[in-house]
Amino acid sequence: MTNLNSKCARYFAVSIIAVVVTGWSAVASAHCDTLDGPVVGTARMALEKRDVTPVLKWVRPKEEAEIKAAFQRTLAVRVKGPAEKELADLYFFETLVRIHRAGEGAPYTGLKPGVAIDPAVALADKALESGSVNKLADVLSNAMTKGIQERFADTLKKQKRADSSVAAGREFVASYVIFTHYVEKLHALIKSGAAHDSH
């Protein structure tokens, strides 16, 4: 992935980590396709300043011309009235996010409301604003540690009576699968993140 998309990629990675450490119970939001996300935030600022330059970092060089054309069309329409401004802005947001997502190799499924932002991603935003990642790292580390400890304790308890009956053995196996798959997925994510950062 190019440096143009590195910020969104980091948001996505943090979201995935949050899902891993809380039990893989939900699909992570990519954040870049939300109305309160960084892509639309940059687009709002660019439109107010009538300067397309800030949004160009969210797309690949070969897509600049399309974004610049969409930006000019949006500026031409948004001055006609409040309703036209709202419609034109939404058109530009959708165009920019769609093209940005395509550059990541991700599907565009529409703009999401701000409430769709994953709590871990919100912490990532705050970390960037404050200049410190300590709170984010602590929250994720603690959640990961708790997730491992809980699954380990449950599996260990059931392992001790696994041979007392077939039913008890099956309970152990079920817990064992959950525990080992959890750490396996977590480890795979860490390895894939390290490989991505090295590119």
Tens-place pLDDT, residues 6-35: 444 444 445 445 444 444 333 334 568 888
* Assessment of whether the complete model's pTM goes beyond 0.85: no
First to last CA, the chain: 8
Percent above pLDDT 70 for the chain: 79
How far is 19 from 13, CA to CA, in rounded Å? Answer: 10
Domains of the chain, residue spans:
3-127, 132-198
Backbone φ and ψ of 112, nearest 5°: -105, 150
Hey, which of 4-18, 21-35, 107-121, 144-158 has the most confident mean pLDDT?
144-158
Q: What is the average pLDDT across 82-107? A: 93
How far is 38 from 93, CA to CA, in rounded Å? Answer: 11
Q: Please, which residues bridge with residue 34 across strands?
A: 112
pLDDT tier, 193 (very low <50, low <70, confident <90, very high otherwise):
low
Q: For 22, what's the count of Cα atoms within 13 Å in the CB-facing half-sphere?
A: 15
Contacts 24+ apart (CB under 8 A), 193-196: 193/13, 196/1, 196/9, 196/13
